[in-house]
Amino acid sequence: MASGTGERKQKKVYSKKIQKLRRAIVFTVVAACLIPTCICLILAVRYDRLRTKYEKSEADLNWYRDRYGDEKSILAASDSGDSGGDTSAEYGEIQWDYGVANTSGAQNPEDIEGTRYVYLTFDDGPSSSTGEILDILDQYGVQATFFVCGKPDSKYTDLYKRIVDEGHTLGMHSYSHSYKDIYASLDSFKDDFKKIKIFLYDTTDVDSIFYRFPGGSSNKVIKDDIAEYEKFLDEQGVTYFDWNVSANDDKAGATKETVYNNIISNIPKYKHCVVLMHDAADKKYTVEALPEIIEAIQAMDDTVIVPITEDTLPVQHIKK
């Protein structure tokens, strides 16, 4: 009996060891399957995000190439002394000090009592930077104004819609942003205007009533009387906006610090501040400076950040 009892105990101990071993084997097999699967899922998500960013950056690059030409032509133009893709050539070498430029609708603090209104505006988008800009604006509870171009690539469709859905103002900045085409004649300008207006309505259901001339209304590319262009916009029920404060983020040597200083140092000069920034893949320093810019403006006495609306006093450059 004692011997039989001992054998049974040994069998139970042996059985328990077998069960533990089986469980360990099953656990190891499951872990061996799950861990690589989880790693693959994480990598797939990261790959998808990187691919999306790559495709948007590629679309940005193609848009810039369409606008300025490919890299070889730009370098060749630079070597030959031509302006090539330099935006200063398109602006007609305008040397504005945007903080003190003569503008209508931009009155000094001593002329008006009350709240200072700051309108943050972004030109040239949407781009691969738009999503990050929108995230920052949302983080601070700020609405801005986006003067966008026509980019029919499906990668940008959601960005146009997000601008509108999150309460920002959608303005027009031409369809092509090609100075030589837009300003070739008044008829060319009209064709481009109609194209961007229809494009934005088809994409967002918004009938935009705000416009910003590429290069501003004071640009030297327009050879005709600018009054004819202004008259056309007025007939369309559209108000154009220039700016009286510029980040100068499209200038050579721009940095996060210069963008911040150009804006914050000039805002106190005006009660109605229309701030020009650019929404472009190569303007990362603008995105980097944006949180500090918003915080500095919000810390100013009796100052609010608002989007452009029908009630906004237009800031428009006066040509001497």
For the ranges 35-49, 115-129, 229-243, the lowest mean pLDDT is seen at: 35-49
Co-location of 50 and 129 in the same domain: no
Q: Which domain holds residue 159?
A: 99-317
Co-location of 25 and 133 in the same domain: no
Round the average pLDDT of the chain to a whole number and report it.
82
| CATH assignment of the domain containing 290 | 3.20.20.370
Co-location of 178 and 217 in the same domain: yes
The reply to whether 292 falls in a domain is yes
Co-location of 171 and 284 in the same domain: yes
Co-location of 173 and 210 in the same domain: yes
Q: Give the residue from 85, 119, 154 where a domain finishes.
A: 85
How much of the chain exceeds pLDDT 70, in percent? Answer: 72
User: What is the SS3 assignment for the chain?
Assistant: CHHHHHHHHHHHHHHHHHHHHHHHHHHHHHHHHHHHHHHHHHHHHHHHHHHHHHHHHHHHHHHHHHHHCCHHHHHHHHHCCCCCCCHHHHCCCCCCCCCCCCEECCCCHHHCCCCEEEEEEEECCCCCCHHHHHHHHHHCCCCCEEEECCCCCHHHHHHHHHHHHCCCEEEECCCCCCHHHHCCCHHHHHHHHHHHHHHHHHHHCCCCCEECCCCCCCCCCCCCCHHHHHHHHHHCCCEECCCCEECCCCCCCCCHHHHHHHHHCCHHHCCEEEEEEECCCCCHHHHHHHHHHHHHHHCCCCEEECCCCCCCCCCEECCC
Instruction: For residue range 39-84, list pLDDT tens digits in order.
Output: 877 777 666 666 655 655 565 565 555 555 555 554 444 443 333 3
Residue 237 confidence (pLDDT) above 80: yes
Instruction: Give the number of domains in the chain.
Output: 2
Co-location of 119 and 216 in the same domain: yes
Q: What is the pLDDT of residue 132?
A: 97
The reply to whether 93 falls in a domain is no
- If one compares 306 and 104, the residue with the highest pLDDT of the two is 306
- If one compares 20 and 254, the residue with the highest pLDDT of the two is 254
Q: What is the pLDDT of residue 14?
A: 65
Instruction: For residue range 249-291, list pLDDT tens digits in order.
Output: 999 899 999 999 999 999 999 999 999 999 999 999 999 999 9
Q: What is the pLDDT of residue 319?
A: 56
Co-location of 250 and 148 in the same domain: yes
